[in-house]
Amino acid sequence: MARVLRILAWTAGVLVVLVAVAIGTVYFYVTSDDFRGRIESHASTLSGRKTTIADISVDWGLTSHVHLGGVQLANAEWAKEPHMLKAEQVDFEIRLWPLIGGNLVLPSLVLRKPEIVVEKGEQDQINWELGEAPPAAAAAKQVVEPDNRFETPVIGRLEVTDGKLTYRDPKRKLDLDGTVSTARGEAGDQPQARLELKGKLEGQPLVVRFVGGSLIMLRDTEQPYPLDLDVTFGATKLKAKGTVMDPFQWTGADVQLSLSGHDLADIYPLLGIPGPPTPPYNIVGKLHREAGIWKFIDSKWHVGDSDLTGEVTVDERRKPAFLTAKLVSNKLVFADLAPLVGAPPDKPGGNVSPQQRQTQQQLEASGDLFPNLPLKVEKLRAMNMDVTLDAKRVIAPAYLPVQALSFRVVVQDGVATAKPITLILLGDGQSAGAGKIAGELVVDAKADIPKVRTSLVLSDIELRNFFRNSQYFDATYGKMQGRVVLAGAGRSLAQVMATADGHFAAALGGGSVSSLMVSLAGLQVFDALILYVTGDNRIPIKCAVGRLNFNHGTVTFDRTLLDTQKSVLHVQGQASLINQAVKAEIDADAKQFDLLDLHGAVIVQGKLRQPHVSLGRIFPIPTPVIGTARDVACGQITQQLFQGQ
């Protein structure tokens, strides 16, 4: 939207040159024999660009009528197009008496077949900047960037026919071509300014349509100025419609803004705001501005299958600009957060974009767990931010029973710090919660290869909630503690995990687990058959501990075990996050006599997304086992694992 307003402002800059020619016409007509040549010279000096005029005629009176034919203004030396303005015909009326007081009153201004070229250079300079002619620059500034609507020129009637506008910004890969015209409004009482542009921005199609009130209405400070802006950028749609008392200061605004698209991250080329990756979204709210601060208030967000409300402000007075957002959700679908780490939302039939659906299909076909989708976190360098989200109700899958979450993200000079991050897990129906996960996540995007690090603490997490909707839920009990410390680098989640260093340590101090689950893991066939017939029951456990050590993407199981009354289950092996595969085995050391034991380990190998589980047999038939395993020194091992010993 900001670029659209700039295009409109610079289009108004055409009037500066034309008005300057008008003043020159009045003066030089009575002081020079070389009329047209002096007019061209004066206009060139005033604009800083070589100006040519094919013919000039003036009908004198208190309100004089000036006709200019074949007007051309040369472009800046660095620009690609030869002219920044061409017009087949320019006709305007000018009142002479107001000129004495320095006021410019044009009862009418007609532009026929004007061609306007706006170009930006590598140093962000614009061809309509008149810095090469300081006297002209001061005069032009008031028209191009007036402080308020009262300072705009008094133009009674503006008529533009068959106008063309070209906008080129190679640095931002922006090319626009379109038409500029005036037409009567729907009621036929006031003419409207119309602008329609089509082109491309960063390779994506861009269409801009603007309808605004007349110039005389802009000057009228008693009436709010109407505007209707419609922008389509790829799959992103932006609409702003309403009225503003002063569009230059954006005061007294009653403008409804809506924004929709496949991914909120796509708004960056259009608005310069580094939006987060999201599922398809639709956002509506009111747009306000005060003292250099844009405010998006009373906003309602529908992102994926989640609903949010809140307020967003952008402070343009600070360099770089500073964005503040405060969002609240009473319905947050946890899967809708997956795009934040480059993963597609895991919800078949849910609200996902075509790109996210394609990514999901590619992951399923390859068997990968972590997507190799670039996150483009370098956009974090464009703007500093302070964003908070408080999700009071979270809808999450059974294996990740999150009840509520909140976080605050502060972006400062390309470094994004999410702190604190808090996830409250579901309770067992007898308490408000069953533990939480809390900590921080840091993304350092100052370098070309972003660095990521996280530190999380797991406190009093109810183990049974990870087995909801399974046959093991009723027989599982206990609270788990844990710690995650990881660091990696890369432009995607797959690259970060493939370089990860750190550890994950967890411990369950006591409780119970499903006897069926333990029997199957230990391959105690007799127990498993009985339990399948009579039902599951609990086996008290002394502890469950484990530590995963990460070393440049290679994960090693360190003293990972489950100590029960019946046996001790040991997990050994490795996982590679580089090729996203695992090869591990689970061995059960029996503590007591068992009539039927297959004397073999459970082998888990294959892709992390869906590993294959098989039996590594030693003997082809079940045989009795006496059972000589002893209890594990749980407290000592837990302390050692958490301390990294």
Nearest to 38 by CA among 57, 26, 24: 24
pLDDT for the residue numbered 497: 95
* Omega before residue 420 within 30° of 0, cis: yes
Q: In sequence order, what are the beta bridge partners of 548?
A: 504, 557
DSSP state of 351: S
pLDDT digits (tens, 9 = 90+) for 540-569: 677 788 899 999 999 999 988 878 777 777
pLDDT for the residue numbered 590: 66
End-to-end CA distance of the chain: 57
CA distance 471 to 391: 30
Tokens of 103: 């006021």
Please list the rounded mean pLDDT of every run of 10 residues in the chain (645 residues). Answer: 47 48 49 56 67 83 86 85 88 80 76 89 78 47 49 67 87 85 56 80 89 68 83 94 80 90 92 91 93 92 95 92 96 91 76 82 84 85 94 85 92 94 75 77 92 93 67 64 94 94 87 55 45 50 86 93 77 92 81 50 81 62 54 76 73
Nearest to 381 by CA among 418, 417, 340, 413: 413
R_g of the chain, CA atoms, integer Å? 35
**Scanning the structure block, which residue is given the tokens 């017009």?**
87
Contacting residues for 228 by C-beta, under 8 A, at least 6 apart: 210, 211, 212, 240, 241
Q: Are 344 and 364 in contact (CB under 8 A)?
A: no
Reported as half-sphere exposure (CB side, CA atoms, 13 A), residue 118 has a value of: 24
Tokens of 41: 């010279």
Contacting residues for 37 by C-beta, under 8 A, at least 6 apart: none
CA distance 512 to 476: 5
pLDDT for the residue numbered 443: 94
Q: In sequence order, what are the beta bridge partners of 295?
A: 288, 313
Q: Are 198 and 149 in contact (CB under 8 A)?
A: no
pLDDT digits (tens, 9 = 90+) for 424-456: 987 655 444 568 899 999 999 998 899 999 999
Q: Kindly list the distances between the CA atom of residue 110 and the CA atoms of 29, 85, 104, 133, 155, in Å, as whole numbers in the listed order.
A: 22, 15, 16, 26, 11
CA distance 169 to 231: 18
Please provide the DSSP assignment of 54-119 as one string.
EEEEEE-SSEEEEEEEEEEEEPPTT-SSSEEEEEEEEEEEEESHHHHTT--EEEEEEEEEEEEEEE
Tokens of 295: 């405010």
CA distance 145 to 539: 78
CA distance 356 to 339: 8
Q: Are 3 and 22 in contact (CB under 8 A)?
A: no
pLDDT for the residue numbered 239: 96
CA distance 152 to 15: 11
Amino acid letter for position 249: Q
Tokens of 203: 């390779």
**Scanning the structure block, which residue is given the tokens 């199981």?**
557
pLDDT for the residue numbered 526: 42
The structural domains of the chain, with segments of one domain joined by +, span 1-205, 500-645
pLDDT for the residue numbered 636: 80
Per the prediction, the chain carries an average pLDDT of: 78
Amino acid letter for position 306: S
pLDDT for the residue numbered 524: 47
Output the CA torsion 11→12→14→19 (10° steps).
170
